[in-house]
């Protein structure tokens, strides 16, 4: 990439902080760690790459590229806050380091700060006018910014009308050539589900008439649901909690093979992030919605941070729905996602949510139950935190590396559990090598159910079993199973490529 263009400003020079007494030996050590980080990155081991780049920075904090590389690894981990911070540090060290502007623009875009991202891409274009990739990304960002501005203006001037007021599934004709599963009188039956699963496994598409009918029915069901659903598990009954599945349909089917098909005797809770990244998100979503319609009191779904428009527009769900159906169908899904519950309380002793706990120390279960959820998540507050927060081992709170919500320590968890008289929390949201992790003296459990995440990470998946009488979690781990030759992120948007994908 050419590094030419306008002169560096005095302000930029003044904000650059350089340590001058780095020995040649330390510089060599730093380069070795940087090279090791690059090797980890190429293998898709982004967390390990972050560690190696961090060691490089410890030995020589003067090199902008070390921060730029770590920013790139943070982007791949969706740690957008840390990616933004590192990119800014790289720019301060070397205002001519154009990759720093690329990385910062990517982080800002992921955080929805399109105007600031546009300014960074504009800087790259000015300083490297021959860089065609920079021009392409600047133009794409400009289009996205203009689109969002237009949508904001429309929504500000008009009361938003539900798309469900303008759709009627009965007007959608089912062609004679269609040979797939059919709803009878708009109802999901066990026979329908038994046909649907192998039909999806064969990479066939459910007719849009039936997808629309199911979405209308699931909306009718969810609109009556509280933001926190209370679930009673009988003493002798087994209950299963699953974490993120991220469009990995064949691994979802494997969960059912290992743990039994959903039924009134075999209830499940799937804890958000059903879509994005994996390229079979429609299949996952319609299978889960089907079981929710079939067993409304024994099959539960919680919203994750990826059941949101910003994430869906980047990481593939929007593109997949558009490819398999239409833009209008995506809008229908978006309205349904807005109504998904944010948490589940099991036997009044275990709280399950996608992300984590809160920045305020006095949040009660009633507060959680009363969160206004029928919207896109705001930048801050209870809804944002329950979808985005992560645990940390140090005490207290600190802003999340993701750039949204917080990281909360064992004292925060202990206080929340004591205040609300619960035993522990279950959350998802983070890939774990073994598919699960127990933190905070057993009071905070993470479960992640997408093995070999994005076809690259190599992690196991896991789910949790317990009974109503004994709420002690029992972990079942499993490896990924083969899937058709459609790679993860196949439907990701041009915005993802702008994030460095």
Does residue 319 sit in helix, strand or coil?
helix
Structure tokens that stand for 217 in this block: 């029915």
Q: In what order do the strands lie in the sheet with 299-301?
A: 299-301, 268-270, 238-242, 461-467, 474-478
| Cα 126 to Cα 93: distance, rounded to the nearest angstrom | 19
Please report where in the chains the tokens 């689109």 appear, as a residue: 147
| Cα 268 to Cα 39: distance, rounded to the nearest angstrom | 40
Q: Is 483 a catalytic residue?
A: no
User: Which is catalytic among the residues 45, 207, 298, 306?
Assistant: 306
Half-sphere exposure of 155 (CA within 13 A, CB side): 9
85 contacts: CB under 8 Å, gap ≥ 6: none
Backbone angles phi, psi at 406, to 5 degrees: -140, 165
| Cα 439 to Cα 246: distance, rounded to the nearest angstrom | 23
Q: Angle 287-292-296 (CA atoms, 0-180°, nearest 5)?
A: 165
- Please measure the distance between the N-terminal and C-terminal CA atoms of the chain and give it in whole angstroms: 18
Q: Angle 36-39-45 (CA atoms, 0-180°, nearest 5)?
A: 105
Q: Which long-range contacts (CB under 8 A, 24 or more apart) does 488-491 make?
A: 488/247, 488/277, 488/278, 488/279, 488/454, 488/455, 488/456, 489/277, 489/279, 489/315, 489/316, 489/454, 490/279, 490/316, 491/279, 491/281, 491/316, 491/317, 491/318, 491/319, 491/320, 491/323
Q: How far is CA 63 from the centre of its chain?
A: 31
| Cα 215 to Cα 206: distance, rounded to the nearest angstrom | 13
Whether the Cβ atoms of residue 287 and residue 321 lie closer than 8 Å to each other: no
Q: Which residues are catalytic?
A: 306
């Amino acid at each position: 990439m050419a590094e030419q263009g306008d002169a560096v400003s005095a302000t930029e020079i003044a904000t650059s902080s350089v340590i001058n007494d780095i020995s040649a030996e330390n510089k060599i050590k730093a380069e070795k760690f940087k090279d090791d980080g690059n090797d980890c990155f190429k293998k898709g081991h982004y967390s390990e790459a972050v560690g190696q780049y961090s060691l490089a920075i410890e030995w020589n904090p003067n090199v902008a590229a070390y921060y730029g590389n770590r920013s790139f690894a943070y982007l791949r981990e969706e740690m957008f806050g840390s990616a933004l911070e590192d990119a800014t540090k790289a720019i301060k060290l070397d205002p001519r380091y154009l990759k720093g502007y690329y990385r910062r623009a990517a982080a800002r875009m992921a955080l929805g700060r399109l105007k600031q991202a546009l300014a960074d891409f504009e800087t790259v274009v000015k300083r490297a006018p021959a860089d065609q990739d920079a021009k392409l990304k600047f133009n794409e960002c400009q289009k996205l910014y203009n689109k969002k501005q237009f949508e904001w203006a429309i929504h500000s001037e008009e009361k938003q009308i539900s798309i469900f007021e303008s759709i009627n599934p009965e007007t959608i004709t089912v062609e004679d050539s269609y040979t797939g599963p059919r709803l009878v009188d708009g109802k999901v039956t066990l026979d329908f589900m038994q046909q649907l699963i192998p039909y999806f496994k064969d990479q066939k598409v459910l007719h849009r008439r039936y997808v629309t009918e199911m979405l209308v029915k699931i909306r009718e069901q969810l609109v009556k649901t509280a933001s926190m659903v209370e679930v009673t598990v009988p003493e002798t009954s087994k209950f299963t909690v699953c974490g993120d599945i991220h469009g990995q349909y064949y691994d979802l089917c494997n969960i059912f093979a290992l743990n039994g098909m959903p039924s009134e005797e075999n209830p499940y809770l799937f804890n958000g992030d059903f879509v994005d990244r994996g390229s079979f998100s429609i299949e996952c979503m319609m299978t889960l919605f089907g079981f929710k319609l079939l067993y409304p009191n024994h099959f539960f779904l919680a919203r994750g941070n990826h059941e949101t428009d910003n994430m869906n527009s980047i990481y593939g769900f929007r593109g997949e729905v558009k490819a398999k159906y239409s833009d209008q169908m995506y809008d229908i899904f978006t309205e349904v996602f807005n109504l998904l519950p944010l948490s589940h309380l099991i036997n009044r002793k275990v709280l399950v949510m996608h992300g984590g706990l809160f920045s305020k120390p006095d949040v009660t279960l009633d507060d959680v139950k009363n969160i206004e959820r029928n919207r896109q998540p705001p930048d801050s507050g209870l809804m944002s935190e329950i979808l985005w927060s992560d645990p940390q081992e140090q005490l207290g709170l600190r802003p999340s590396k993701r750039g949204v919500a917080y990281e909360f320590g064992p004292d925060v968890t202990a206080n929340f559990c004591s205040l609300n008289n619960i035993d522990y929390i279950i959350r998802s949201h983070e890939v774990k090598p073994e598919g699960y992790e127990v933190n905070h003296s057993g009071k905070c459990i993470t479960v992640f159910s997408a093995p070999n995440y994005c076809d690259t990470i190599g992690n196991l998946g896991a789910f949790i079993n317990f009974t109503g009488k004994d709420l002690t979690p029992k972990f079942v781990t499993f490896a990924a199973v083969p899937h058709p030759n459609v790679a993860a992120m196949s439907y990701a948007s041009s915005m993802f490529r702008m994030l460095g994908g």
